[in-house]
Amino acid sequence: MSDIDLIIERLEMRGHRITGSRRRVIDAILAQPAHFTVDDVLHSTRRTGRATVFRTMKLLTDLNLLCRVLLEGGQLHYRLSTRGHHHHLVCRDCGRVEDFSNCDVDGLVRQLARATDYDIEGHWLEVYGRCHACRLLKPSSAISGARP
Ligand SMILES: [Zn+2]
Ligand SMILES: [Zn+2]
Ligand SMILES: [Zn+2]
């Protein structure tokens, strides 16, 4: 199933109508690179109001069709996310983002819940590093004064 079909199916399953403006926002999102900002989507949906873009992106995020990626510099980007719970591996050199779904923090969460008496509802984990291509291009030993 293509991304657009999957998105439409999930919206309709949850009782959301696919209006023309919503469809334009979704099309703009599908045309973005691997990760993008709200502004990127605004730029490519000029005929659609800002509020509609924001509301549609929020809806898609709530339905787990979009996920947020925090880049190392602190910029919040979005990314298409049609799989379930996952985390990101972010290359701090080229900004490439990869998903990984073997989330292994359940033990930590249980331990934390016991220790703090919190009812823990979620977590967010990004892992930063340098991808294979960047490491080939510039081995760590060649970097003077590696960043902290
Ligand atoms: Zn993601
Ligand atoms: Zn890289
Ligand atoms: Zn996780």
What is the whole-number distance in angstroms between the Cα of residue 139 and the centre of ligand 2? 12
One-letter amino acid at 23 equals: R
Quick one: average pLDDT of 102-110?
Answer: 87
Q: What is the pTM of this model?
A: 0.82
Q: Name the closest ligand to CA 91.
A: 2
145 Cα–ligand 1 center, Å: 31
Predicted pLDDT at 82? 82
Phi, psi (degrees; rounded to nearest 5) at 21: -70, -35
Tell me the ligand closest to 103's alpha carbon. Answer: 3
Place of tokens 């760590």: 140
Token duo for residue 42? 């605004």
- What is the percent of the chain with per-residue pLDDT over 70, rounded to a whole number? 95
User: Per-residue DSSP letters for 13-46?
Assistant: HTT----HHHHHHHHHHHTS-SSB-HHHHHHT-T
Distance 63 CA to ligand 2 centre (A): 30
Ligand that comes closest to the CA of residue 99? 1
